[in-house]
Amino acid sequence: MSIRLENRRCLIVGGTSGIGLAAARRFLDEGARVVVAGLTAPPLDDGLNFLACDVTSETQVENIFAEAITNLGGLDVLFHVAGSSGRKHGDGPLHECTDLGWQGTLDANLKGVFLTNRAAVRHFLKQETGGAILNMSSVLAFSPAPRHFDTVAYAASKGGIIALSRQAAARYAADRIRINVLAPGLIDTPMAARAIGDPAIRAFLESKQPLGPGPGTPEDCADAAVFLCSDAARFITGVVLPIDGGWSVCEGRGANP
């Protein structure tokens, strides 16, 4: 078995459940040293050090970076997974999305990525050894399906993550800082429970994500994350990789009203 992340010092923000927790476990299997950050602690796992953090707080983000760098003796990889659907704040179709739904979703998703990526780049520049950043977007940023997934602030925030990541990838490539993006389709995680449990959406996924058919697993994303954070991807930056079971190339029955 290959050990693709041997001795890599990794911080996974949002690594306490779903895709982030699956990635943390895979990173450990691949030889990485891992610190996970999130709002609540993960299930007990050997080798997973936990730091509490609200990613919308600049102070808390700076604190977890300082603690992670101290614990790990430096940092090689940032994987930002943390995010929110925004529905609970009032996100929805453009004509129904509330001001709170808009701002709350952008803060949870786009502001959080801005804060962690800025901290990581500042450290990598100071460290002068390069580094890898992997951000989490969504297939909904570029392949909408409004009949079942009509949340304008969420789509905007995930599109913003792509733009931020590609801009930064171009700016810091000469410093050997690689910045890439995962864009999952519908993945079976706690955040997706509403959609996963909807019979109409399950039927839609049979043709929209036919490689499943149906929702993907957190491990599907974790495997891709290992690749993009490892030396196997040393010549790759600015890439947006769909992990979507065919979503972005398949029309899907019942896609339109």
Dig out the tokens for 98 from the structure: 């509330």
How many domains are contained in the chain? 1
Q: Is residue 21 part of a domain?
A: yes
**pLDDT per position as a tens digit, 30-86:** 999 999 999 988 876 666 899 999 999 999 999 999 999 999 999 999 999 999 998
Which of 27, 65, 154, 172 is catalytic? The answer is 154
Q: Is residue 1 part of a domain?
A: no
Q: Is residue 60 part of a domain?
A: yes
Q: Which residue has the tokens 């997934």?
A: 149
Q: Is residue 3 part of a domain?
A: no
Kindly report the CATH number assigned to the domain that includes residue 97.
Answer: 3.40.50.720
Q: List, in sequence order, the alpha helices (H) in the chain.
A: 18-29, 58-72, 99-106, 112-127, 152-172, 193-196, 199-208, 218-229
Residues 40 and 225: their CA atoms lie apart, in Å, by 22
Whether residue 146 has a cis bond before it, omega within 30° of 0: no
How confident is residue 255, by pLDDT bands cut at 50, 70 and 90?
A: very low
Q: Is residue 256 part of a domain?
A: no
What is the residue range of 65's domain? 9-249
80-105: b or e for each residue (b if 16 or more CB lie within 10 Å)? bbbbbbbeebbbbeeeebeeebbebb
- Mean pLDDT across 120-137: 97
Residues 131 and 124: their CA atoms lie apart, in Å, by 6
Dig out the tokens for 192 from the structure: 């997706």
| pTM passes above 0.75 | yes
Q: Is residue 67 part of a domain?
A: yes
Q: Which of 153, 256, 149 is nearest to 195 (CA)?
A: 149
How confident is residue 254, by pLDDT bands cut at 50, 70 and 90?
A: low
Residue 239 has a CB neighbour count (10 Å cut-off) of 16
154 is catalytic: yes
Q: Is the dihedral of CA 170, 171, 173, 176 positive or negative?
A: negative
Q: Is residue 17 part of a domain?
A: yes
- Mean pLDDT across 136-156: 97
Q: Is residue 257 part of a domain?
A: no
